[in-house]
Amino acid sequence: MSTAEERSNAAGLGRMVSDLRRWSLANLRYATDLILPPICIHCHTPIAAHRVLCPACWKDVDFITPPLCDRLGLPLPHADGETALSTAALRDPPIFGRARAAARFNGVMRTLIHSFKYGDRHEASDMFAQMMRAAGAGLLEDADVLMPVPLHPRKLSQRRYNQAAILAGRLSRLARLPADMTSLRRVRRTPSQVGLSEAERQSNVANAFAIAPKAEGRIAGKHILLVDDVITTGSTLSACARVLKEAGAAEVNCLAVAMAVGEDEAGAS
């Protein structure tokens, strides 16, 4: 048999194996759907695909769209120029550069995030990452590395997972950016932020974060994108940004699934 014939046979065998793999995966998905039909991750209505929302629940998501405050990512009623700043950003400029979130923390999003954060329900994590990639496209382009807001080791032991780390991992694969899960640490356990005023939140997280030993080299000069599930007053993100900038970070921006705006802040954590 000639070399050309061998190559042709090898190519044909490769295509056959590839076709067989696709056929097997399609049948496996079909069998799985028969046993566990796809349902809406919020209302459990039967739908066509897994891990997504039905049209009615999707319509209830209050997406944050322009015009936005360039610093805080808050929705604005109108914008006079290309770069607009909210009153909150002018009154108390954040330590971080810019913050963005995909949707307001209300309705469907509040329920899904609470289930994810406190109920060990991760069905929405891939959808959250897709939403964050769209909302934070500009921040992702500028970022060198993703970094989740850390939990205190005792809380991590109790909950068994850090929801921000899961989101950072999902987003890392989508955006093809590295995720640093260890350089930023929470060194002081703090009470829940729920129900606290802005000033109380700032005091609550003061000195709660630190850089891991010998991690400065992974931070100095880097454009870091902090990842969290919900942005409320921004006090936690500011506390993280402060220690990162003190360690030499060139820029620290923030990206979350949702943002508490106005009345959304009641019950936000």
Integer Cα distance of 251 and 14 in angstroms: 47
What is the model's pLDDT at position 217? Answer: 92
Q: Which of 39-48, 62-71, 159-168, 183-192 shows the lowest mean pLDDT across its residues?
A: 183-192
Q: With a cut of 60, say whether residue 267 has pLDDT above it.
A: no
Q: Residue 169, CB half-sphere, CA atoms under 13 Å: how many?
A: 10
Amino acid residing at 133: R
Q: Whole-number mean pLDDT of the chain?
A: 85
Q: Where are the domains of the chain?
A: 61-265
Integer Cα distance of 147 and 60 in angstroms: 30
Write out the two tokens for 129: 């990452």
Q: Identify the three-state secondary structure at position 227.
A: strand
What is the model's pLDDT at position 179? Answer: 98
Angle at 247 between CA 246 and CA 253, to 5 degrees: 75
- pLDDT above 70 covers a percentage of the chain that reads 76
Q: Which of 43-52, 75-84, 103-112, 232-241 shows the lowest mean pLDDT across its residues?
A: 75-84
To the nearest 10°, report the CA torsion of 146, 130, 153, 118: 160
- Quickly state the pLDDT bin for 30 (edges 50, 70, 90): very low
CATH topology of domain 61-265: Rossmann fold (3.40.50)
Q: Which of 120, 217, 206, 220 is nearest to 163 (CA)?
A: 120
